[in-house]
Structure 1
Amino acid sequence: MENKNIWNTYGEAELKELDAISEKYKSCLDMGKTERECVSVAVDMAKAAGYREINEVLAEGKPLKEGDKVYAVCMEKMLAMFRMGEEPISNGMNILGAHIDSPRIDVKQYPLYENEGFAYLDTHYYGGIKKYQWVTGPLSLHGVVAKKDGTRVQVSIGEKESDPVFVITDLLVHLAGDQMGKKASEVIEGEKLDLLIGNRPIEQAEGLDKEDKDAVKANVLKLLKESYDIAEEDFCSAELEIVPAGKARDCGLDRSMILAYGQDDRVCAFTSLFAMIDVEHTKRTSCCLLVDKEEIGSVGATGMHSRFFENKVAELIALNEGESELKVRRAMERSRMLSSDVSAAYDPMFAEAFEKRSSAFFTKGLSFNKFTGSRGKNGSNDANAEFLADIRRIMDDENVAYQFAELGKVDVGGGGTIAYIMANYGMEVIDSGVAVLSMHAPYEISSKADVYEAVKGYRAFLKRA
């Protein structure tokens, strides 16, 4: 079965909506380069759409009615949004779940040091990356520094035109004979991903000679104190992330694609958010769940393995239907979910890694993966045929372009999502998302047409599933 390129199927009104969604999506990518920033962006949009914070609603003690909207945040890195449907929550929900963490480089807790007149931040990479891709490009620093007095300092350096940027250096090709002979996984070692942040020593008048061993480090600390009131020991209670600097950009002479950092999985997170805000008057309660830590196994308090989402469902059921562990279990089991995560787009430059008949393609619409995992479907949720049939019906009825795919050749590799975790409750779950080129690279590519179809498909699921 061959899916057609969908660009030529759009009329003027659809192209106008497609462009509007693409611009909004790029803006969200620019504002949300970390999990905390993504949650902040999403909460602002939710509030503007009439969503209320869950603790405020619970404090009032009044049952929620159809159409009421609430949201809950966990540690500023995980978000659950609920729009109440006609039916009680215990009848099940329609859930869009995506992750908002992306591969990056984190700053360690004792990071700042000087070496031969250069100041560096020591780092530890996060998620699956090709380490050699992260050298020599302009990088920015995002995050939060929590101080002992209870105050917090928000950090974002490298995104404004007036900001400095940072870099991880590489060996010049003239001296790289031994390096070039190494395996790609060894060309750049993890401990060589340290961030270059300074080279100018502190002035003598400040109490250190320019030639003193740590004069450059001292100057960096002076600048941090002046600009952010941060001391060296404050790094111990900081979460600082190193990401590519710069804005999301149109890609291609025809402007048909988007080039940006973090599209795995923010392309699915933001399109899910857009759909959640757009959809009204649903039969079942609608949910949008944006989670952290997927790239490292969905662990921790803000990952999908936590009980955060289940706890919020229990709170809402207690408010509306009375406390009942059984009703919470029923709600989870009777729910349906799209695990909204990206798929690997077929790349003709690396055709040997793909089985073409089972690959996701650009401009063919929303991609569904019946299973993910690796090799023998290891670690995968494997969606039921009956659920797939319902998905096909919903997408066809709502005129959504879609395709079915696998993640490369069977024995080449593989990957996972949060689908299997939610499937543990017995709910119907399938992976669905946008096909992406250069996944996990500092800059990834998506098709504007597929982004548009994702929004359409997620709207359809919330309304019809």
Structure 2
Amino acid sequence: MEKDNTWKTYSAEECVELEQINRSYKSCLDEGKTERECVKLAVKMLREHGYRDLKEFIDGQKTLGAGDKVYAVCMGKSIAAFHIGTEPLEKGMNILGAHIDSPRIDVKQNPLYENEELSYLDTHYYGGIKKYQWVTLPLALHGVVAKTDGSLVEIHIGDKEEDPVFAVTDLLVHLASKQMEKKANAVIEGEKLDLLFASRPLSSDGSLEKEEKDAVKANVLRILETTYGISEEDFVSAELEIVPAGNARDCGIDRSMIMAYGQDDRVCAFTSLFALLDVDKVEKTACCILVDKEEIGSVGATGMHSRFFENVVAEMTALTGGSSDLRVRRALQNSKMLSSDVSAAFDPMFAETFEKRSSAFFGKGLVFNKFTGSRGKSGSNDANAEYLAEIRRAMDRKHVAYQFAELGKVDAGGGGTIAYIMANYGMEVIDSGVAVLCMHAPWEITSKADVYEAYKGYKAFIEEM
């Protein structure tokens, strides 16, 4: 069925609030380009709103009661925040879940090398990308280097105006006749995504050290030592991510859209966090969980497949009435969740891959996907019809614009979220999110109206379910 473009419905006051939400969102995108940066920013925002580390309650053997606000962090790359409600925890929670990892290029553990007096960092891409999209772009380097003395060095190079940027090179078109004959997935091979890092040899007193072996690499090591206090061996215990350089920008002559890196899935993560921070009293405990590793299968200790969330809920049940495995199981099974991940926006330039009647459109609000998966709904959480009716009722009460969609044509491909993982607990789960153009590209595009409606929808879910 046809949905109105929400831009046509906004009052002047709503337009002001819309811009405020989107300004905050763009600032979060600029400050959170990696999982660690997102978690660090989330902790800062939570503490500003009165949230406390759950460890304070555990270590102090304090109880949790209605109105208390706590958070727990997993290895600096996932976080769960809770606003305790007036109802017992075993009655369930209203959970907003999203992921904060995004497709990118990672630096390998033994990366630094020199080739024909050019220095490179060896890389491995992370998540589903079109490799050819990552060449000849200004790139930034973000991450941490863990040293054996226990210190952690944070790296942020490429996003400040005065910073240098980096690049992955491509073959000039004049010599690319053979390259242009290749399939798109082979035009740029994974091993060709190495980062151009430096070209100046080590010098002493202004003169080049001609006898120095790998003099450009030697100069890089000198810079790393003097500027950051790290050595080549320290790369082994580093997590360095290569991301597009530059800030989130308004897109379009009308400034109606946002173009930025990492909107999959930080557009859902930050609007979910905004919603949690903006609710006052809640009956059911409200939760926002932001996790890592979704783009590679939600694996590992910081992914949704880990026991982190379950363990945190167990700690909370112990602090709200006594430890009990049955209480934990009840709390999880009786919960309701929005598994918030982006959806594919209908693109008229590639209309042949979409089924228009079941597509998400820019400016028409929060997107709900009853199922995701691929082809025959493989790997999908298929939400119950009764739950969909509850969702519709909650959104209508708060005048949230929303739409229901699928991810492209039935046999065109597909994708997954964390929904099926949380559904293993027996809770009601549905996929929801924001429609995105150019998903998984270095720069993705969203509608400001949809960002605003997502915030409203997530807040409505907490307050009305």
Fraction of identical pairs, as percent: 72
Secondary structure of the equivalent of 1:280?
coil
Matches within 5 A, 1:5-404: 5-204=5-204, 209-210=209-210, 212-404=212-404
AA aligned to 1:307 is R
Q: CA deviation at 1:209?
A: 2.4
The AA in structure 2 aligned to 1:49 is H
Residue equivalent to 2:414: 414
What is the alpha-carbon distance in structure 1 between the residues aligned to residue 270 and residue 102 of structure 2? 14
Aligned mates of 1:417, 1:175 — CA distance in 2: 41
How big is the shift at 1:204?
4.2
Q: Deviations over 1:129-154 (max 9, x none)?
A: 00000000100000000000101100
Gaps of 5+ in 2: none
2:222 partner amino acid: K
CA distance in 2, matches of 1:108, 1:259: 29
**Counterpart AA for 2:17:** E
Distance in 1 between residues matched to 2:15 and 2:156, nearest whole Å: 34
Q: CA deviation at 1:13?
A: 1.1
Distance 2:284 2:50 in 1: 19
Aligned to 2:16, the other structure's residue is in SS state helix
Q: Supply the AA of the counterpart residue of 2:129.
A: I
- Normalised by the length of structure 1, the TM-score is 0.99
CA distance in 1, matches of 2:348, 2:419: 29
Quote the Cα distance in structure 2 between the aligned partners of 1:144 and 1:286.
32
Q: Per-residue displacement from partner, 1:246-297 (whole Å, max 9, x unpaired)?
A: 0000000000000000000000000000000001211100000000000000
Letter in 1 for 2:271: T
- CA–CA distance in 2 between the matches of 1:315 and 1:223? 46
CA distance in 1, matches of 2:147, 2:52: 29
One-letter amino acid matched to 1:191? E
Please state how far the C-alpha of 1:64 moved relative to its aligned partner.
Answer: 1.6
Deviations 1:54-104 (A, max 9, x none): 000222222222111000000000000000001011110000000000000
Distance in 2 of aligned mates of 1:214 and 1:62: 59
User: Distance between the aligned counterparts of 2:163 and 2:133, measured in 1?
Assistant: 23
**3-state DSSP of counterpart to 2:382:** coil
**8 Å Cα contact 1:141-1:156 kept in structure 2:** yes
Q: Distance in 1 between matches of 2:291 and 2:168?
A: 29
What are the equivalent positions in structure 2 for 1:421-436 lying under 5 Å apart?
Answer: 421-436=421-436
Query: Which deviates the most, 205-214 or 264-273?
Result: 205-214
Q: Provide the secondary structure at the position in 2 that maps to 1:306.
A: coil
- CA shift, 1:426, in A, is 0.4
CA distance in 1, matches of 2:211, 2:423: 61
Q: Secondary structure at the match of 2:178?
A: helix
Instruction: Give how far 1:212 is off.
Output: 3.9
Q: Contact (CA 8 Å) 1:204, 1:210: kept in 2 or not? A: no
CA deviation vs aligned residue, 1:103-158 (integer Å, no higher than 9, x gap): 00000000000000100000000000000000001000000000001011000000
Matched residue SS, 2:320? helix
Task: Please report the TM-score for the alignment, with normalisation by the length of structure 2.
Answer: 0.99
Per the TM alignment, residue 211 of structure 1 is displaced from its structure 2 partner at its CA by 5.7
CA distance in 2, matches of 1:198, 1:125: 21
Can you list the C-alpha shifts for 1:381-415, whole angstroms capped at 9, x where unaligned?
Answer: 00000000000011011100000000000000000
Instruction: Please state how far the C-alpha of 1:207 moved relative to its aligned partner.
Output: 11
Question: SS in structure 2 opposite 1:352?
Answer: helix
